[in-house]
Structure 1
Amino acid sequence: MPDRHLAHGSTDGPLRPGPPAGPKQPGSGTKGKGTLSAMVYAAAPVVVFAAVVGFVALPIAIGISIAVALALAVFQMMRGEGLMNAIGGVIGVAIAGGIAAWTGSANDFFLIGIWAALAGAVVTLASLIVRRPLTGVIWNAVHGNDRPWREDRPTLLAHDLATAAVTLLLAGRFIAQQWAYLSDSTGLLAFADIATGTPVTAVAGVAVFWAFRRSTKRLINNAGTRTATQA
């Protein structure tokens, strides 16, 4: 019988260690960079507006913030980061600036974010009260609206927790910004907007991702494994 090692083209002697691990694959570690970029894109027009509104007329400050948003949008498109994201940022700043120009108050530049946070908190809280947590409704819709996610207690609990986290974070954002708004400080409003913006969204995203992953594992992956075993 031929030697097993020779049959596979190996030589006698002790086994040699395998080749060293290759370089880190492209794209790994880009998630954190993407989050940081999103924070910069969202914060820059706000910071610029708050910095200049005390020195120039309100319409000029609004125009400068919109120009900054446009410049960032062009930069995003040049980097291939998506047309919708770039345009969305410009539209948001333009609408905020339009409200501030209409009311004549620099603080009203932040009204959309304040009331959007309150509306989001109310909607997610209502979904918890009626026992249909919003993250679970969305997950089920993504997967064809035919998954028994509410009958599976661990899955329902995961979405209760994720939706509750989103509710608390949105409520906290509203409270912080509304307090700054009532304090009549544009600089404080800008700080509250930035501090409770992308960082809060990232934390909420982690909770939602966990609930989605848990649901998929229990109701799709495990279900497929059971079906294969029965077959």
Structure 2
Amino acid sequence: MVITDDGCELWTSATGRGEPILCCHGGPGLWDMFGTLDLGPRFRLIRWDQRGAGRSEARGPYTLERMVADVDAVREWHGLDRVPVLGHSWGAHLALLYALAHPERVSALVYVSGVGLGHEWHAEFKRNFERVLGEELRGEGRERAVRQWTADFVTDGERHAEAMATPWFPVNYEANAALSEEMRTVPEAELVAACRSLRVPTLIVDGMADTRPRWAVDSLEQALPSVTRVRFDGVGHVPWLEAPGEFRAAVTDFLAAS
């Protein structure tokens, strides 16, 4: 367990024996789902559950500043000086915020299925989600989540959603609401200006069939001085499950060149 400077216990684990890469999972309010991620023998995945979720202690505060500090606590606990950081979905935004706050500690940034710097994508996401799902969500807890997550995939949605939901923990809706609201209060122009001075090499990975519109990431790509963008056609929100070989090659090739 990592003990943060405010005394919160965070679950963490290292998978593999290669070079470390620090992973930030999606949510907010969810837990590490990188057990399905395979980057090959070259990398050791540093995984952790964000505060309030999964195997970590259920306590706030749930703020962007606090979450960034938690990323740094995990890095330090594992004895890492400078490390690649990979984030997925909300975790992509968290990884970006960490790189902006501590660029000297991030050797490369892998931004997977993030939602960009602005806040105008929600309406299109809702329409896409309802179109793909095709029916009203029913059930509670894990059953409801699995049904919801099937919309994140183009093929084998139920099987992949079951994998994402195993193991299962309660969703922290308090953390989700607090962090989502705070994200909406940060002006896009402020983030764009900060990204223009970020010298950390960045890989943006998009599944072009993601229900979250990919144009939302354009302003991030345009603002970053050192950026590569990879797009996978016919792939949804979790590209390492639907296109594992292509995803692994994109990430490992990028990191080898960084």
TM-score, length basis structure 2: 0.24
Greater share of residues in strand: 2
Greater share of residues in helix: 1
TM-score, length basis structure 1: 0.26
Higher alpha-carbon Rg: 1
